[in-house]
Amino acid sequence: MKDWDSWLQGHDWRPVDLDEFKALPQDEKLRRIRHSSAHVMATALRHVRPEARFAIGPATEHGFFYDVRLDAPLSPEEIEQVQEGMQQVSKEKQRFEVAVVPHDEAVAFFQDKGEQYKLDILEKLADQTVTFYRNGDFVDLCAGPHVPDTGFCQHVKLLASSPAHWRGEQNPSLQRVTGTAWESRDALKNYLAFVQEAKARDHRVLGAALDLFSFHPWAASALWHPKGLLIRNELGRFWRDLMPEYGYVEILNPILYKPELFHTSGHWDHYHEDMFIVRDAAGEPDFVMKPMNCPDTMLYYKSQAHSYRELPLRVAESQILHRNEVTGALHGLMRTRSFVQDDAHIFLSPDQVQNEIQELLALVDRFYSVFGLDYSMKLSTRPEKFMGEIAQWDAAEAALKAAMDGAGREYWIDEGDGAFYGPKIDISIQDSLGRKWQCGTIQLDFQLPQRFELEYTAQDGTRQTPIVIHRAIFGSIERFIGVIVEHFAGAFPTWLAPVQAVVLPISDEKHLDYAHEVTARLRKAGIRAETQQFESLNYRIRQAEKAKVPYILVVGDREKEEGTAAVRRHKVKEQRVLSVNDVLAELTAKLATRELDVHVARMAAKFNESSAATTEYRAY
């Protein structure tokens, strides 16, 4: 058996240069701290679980993770032991050193150690040499870079251990040990406060607490309760109110189609494994539950002849879609197997693309501003494998860039990440916790119109093929609701709240009739209002606050006599006495304008500001 310890010592191990590290930008220092913290965690984990076999351990936006093969999941007590071990490794200030190793020797080393995941990684690497990093007794296949020593990784906290998949496997075989790492105690403290707030805002927790929706392992998506459905329907009304203003027509197509639809569109070859397929008696595909709205919208266009005078033709559809997501990818409302998208397909001529994109960007801005959502955009350009002519792609990308420049918003270009059928704009919304969710998209498509042989009569009488723009703003309605539940922490703007006002009589005996009268007037004006009675007034006020009802109206002798109500807003200490007419006027104005009448606290600012502080790094 080869003496691997001697073999390791025989290499030229070079320490990470402290001066070079100190000269790095702050964000790069923090990224290295996080990457190195994954190695510190692995060092400590091996002493708690010697059987551990390691896959990958990258830095993430706010920390790190390491995917590890274990005989059994880590217990809470073991996670605490690993945390304590990390603190000890940090105190020891173990040097990070790097060595260049021949590829074949690296393979032999990890074969002997039984590190199958490292062998899988090496199999994908064509280089003749690879790099190893070591600290203390832990040696890892790693491209780096790292901090000079483990003492830079002292402000670290393990957060969770959960199942993880290795390279697309159906069933998870790994445990993902996740943590966060920062450059100062204050930055770590602020981030942990943010994590606690995020847990409190989890849409799965709030959905149950506010009686909006629930989940069941037999269901492909959420079970929508009456209050949750009110929110969903209100969002649908918002969407349908906007569409005619921007010149859209709405259609409704079936859910089930013959496979030929997806053979024609090209989706079958790339996507059939993710489709729910209904098979005939012989086991052959008979019908497919559609996973997207694009192909059958082409059938709608093809059902009639079209002229250039009709273009742009804007066609919206929000049908239920089904995708056979792997179990490990499912997450509450954020990713489900059954969902609805606010899709639209715009058929237009090449010279209309730029103006249409500019109008779409204006619509996106108007849309997200209603919810107080910040957003960012990226332009994804021609990939290595694409369909169509390069000149066509170049013209389309130039039109998208010109439209985005004209919109005056910052964006970044992701070279080569476009869809195979055309360039696209991906829009990520940022919630009050600073997390980004890819919801909206604007995609140019040259291919579907050709595959379905779509045409329009041009001004010169010739038959031409239209370009199609795919666009979604909500994206998945389910995901969008999950995002805004967490964004607002369940305290929705009045127009979106499932119960907009609750009327509380001080005494059921003396004031209940008046409370019912006020509630009836509110309901007649289209306000979702309830009367609550029986329990003590203070208890009912607490319950209304807990339910995050925007308006709490308390009525007693004085209010009954004067035709008024004592009005409290959710989480507002001030109480006003208003006439019922004034209450009606205030509420109906908010509903008509969909006013954003809640304060959206930006929780991410705390730890982002902390991490921007300059830190003095010390020598060994």
Of the candidates 180, 247, 212, 117, the residue with the CA atom closest to the CA atom of residue 492: 212
Q: How far apart are CA 223 and CA 239, in angstroms?
A: 22
Locate tokens 């209050």: which residue?
227
DSSP annotation string for 424-439: EEEEEEE-TTS-EEEE
Beta-strand (E) ranges in 231-305? Answer: 248-250, 256-257, 276-279, 285-289
Three-state DSSP class for residue 412: strand
Neighbours of 50 (CB within 10 A): 7
Q: Tokens for 49?
A: 């679980």
Three-state DSSP class for residue 34: helix
Q: How far apart are CA 153 and CA 95, in angstroms?
A: 12
Q: How far apart are CA 358 and CA 246, in angstroms?
A: 12
Q: How far apart are CA 423 and CA 429, in angstroms?
A: 20
Looking only at the bridges linking them, the beta strands covering 564-569 and 551-555 are antiparallel
Enumerate the active-site residues.
294, 323, 341, 343, 345, 424, 470
Q: Tokens for 387?
A: 């369909």
Q: How far apart are CA 503 and CA 533, in angstroms?
A: 9
Of the candidates 440, 213, 218, the residue with the CA atom closest to the CA atom of residue 337: 218
The β-bridge partners of 177 are 66, 161
Q: How far apart are CA 351 and CA 374, in angstroms?
A: 31
Q: Strands of 313-317's sheet, edge to edge?
A: 248-250, 313-317, 343-348, 467-472, 436-445, 424-430, 374-380, 411-414
Backbone φ and ψ for 360, nearest 5 degrees, come out as -65, -40
